[in-house]
Structure 1
Amino acid sequence: MLPITLLMSAATVALAGIGGLYYSYACSVMPGLRAVDDATFVSAMSRINTAIQNPVFALSFVGAFLALMGATAYSWAMGLDSALPASVALACYTATLAITFGVSIPLNNRLGHAAAAGETAIGRKSFERPWTRWNIHRTWLSLAALVALCVAWASLGQP
């Protein structure tokens, strides 16, 4: 099997999983939690934020980036037509990482501090809207990355 096939297969699986995670928050988790009281919301999100810190998630989260980086570098090095769309996919996924590390994780941490202090109303008010808005951006960026990766796959079949 060609290295590009392995790299793009790994990138596709990992990216689809991570994009699906963001999507599930956007269309089910956050809308479902919208209807609960502040204490339940903060408790549930704090537990979710703790639970997601596990090796399976880390493998997909970091693996998508590494596989996309590898596929992009290999495509450029070999002069493959997949180079440009793989670069777009990598840029879109990198943007999701910037949002995660720059916005989502700091919001998660502040929510955890609010939960520990028993300030559920304040914690929720400063968390829910910005976290949800930025998660929707991550969802769209993940979709764009997956579409670009599909274009990269299609370009491999071109002479």
Structure 2
Amino acid sequence: MTDLARGATLVTATITTGLIAGLFYAYAISVMLGLNRTDDRTFVGAMRSINVAILNGWFLLAFLGAPVLIALAAVLHLRAGAGAALFWIVAALVLYTVVLLVTFAVNVPLNDQLEAAGGPGRVMDLATVREQFEARWVRWNVVRAVASTAAFGCLTWALVLFGQSSTSA
């Protein structure tokens, strides 16, 4: 049962981390590039709508579930003395912690600042609101995309090592 719990936890940690990595990657390579081509009114309105829409159960399940599952996988592997996979799981946890720190220290405050500025119909200087938001938000989202993708890679490798150790046992 211990191998089953370790494997299932590691798989779900990998899936949730992969979903978040994909989300930040999609923003980096399409959403923000597309919004960059819009006028200030459209940009501000769209980002405000996205920031509200993303706060849903499915997003929160993956975004907050990933670090919990990674930590649980680390504890289960530590208890079992599974050293090779454990290193990569801990590395993933460190990388995902970077994602959380960047999100809560940079991206969420920028989202809150954008919300506080008001809707496009109420803001006098949309260009300034956008200027104070866009470049910094995009730059730090790329950091989140890279860190979460690296965490996903670490967990994928941990799965390989876990699978190797399970078949040789």
- Using structure 2 for the length normalisation, give the TM-score: 0.90
Q: Which amino acid aligns with 1:110?
A: Q
- Match of 1:34? 36
Is 1:96–2:99 an aligned residue pair? yes
Larger Rg computed on CA atoms: 2
Is 1:145–2:151 an aligned residue pair? yes
Offset of 1:47 from its aligned partner? 0.1
CA contact (8 A) 2:11 2:159 kept: no
What CA distance in whole angstroms lies between the structure 2 residues aligned with 1:139 and 1:19? 6
Offset of 1:5 from its aligned partner? 1.0
Q: Which amino acid aligns with 1:13?
A: I
What CA distance in whole angstroms lies between the structure 2 residues aligned with 1:122 and 1:114? 10
- Match of 1:61? 63
Count of residue correspondences: 159
Structure 2 spans left out of the alignment, 5+ residues: none
RMSD over aligned Cα, in angstroms?
1.2
Q: Deviations over 1:103-135 (max 9, x none)?
A: 000000101112345142221101100000000
Runs of 4+ in 1 over 3 A off after TM superposition: none
Q: Which segment is superposed worse, 111-120 or 51-60?
A: 111-120
- Match of 1:17? 19
Superposition map of 1:69-80 within 5 A: 69-80=71-82
What CA distance in whole angstroms lies between the structure 2 residues aligned with 1:62 and 1:68? 10
Is 1:46–2:48 an aligned residue pair? yes
What CA distance in whole angstroms lies between the structure 1 residues aligned with 2:143 and 2:154? 16
Which of residues 87, 90, 94 is equivalent to 1:87?
90
CA contact (8 A) 1:114 1:120 kept: no
Structure 1 spans left out of the alignment, 5+ residues: none
- Match of 1:115? 118
CA contact (8 A) 1:114 1:122 kept: no
What CA distance in whole angstroms lies between the structure 1 residues aligned with 2:55 and 2:92? 25
What CA distance in whole angstroms lies between the structure 1 residues aligned with 2:98 and 2:50? 23
Offset of 1:4 from its aligned partner? 0.8
Secondary structure of the 1:82 match is helix
Q: Deviations over 1:43-66 (max 9, x none)?
A: 000000000000111101111111
- Using structure 1 for the length normalisation, give the TM-score: 0.96
CA contact (8 A) 2:10 2:70 kept: yes
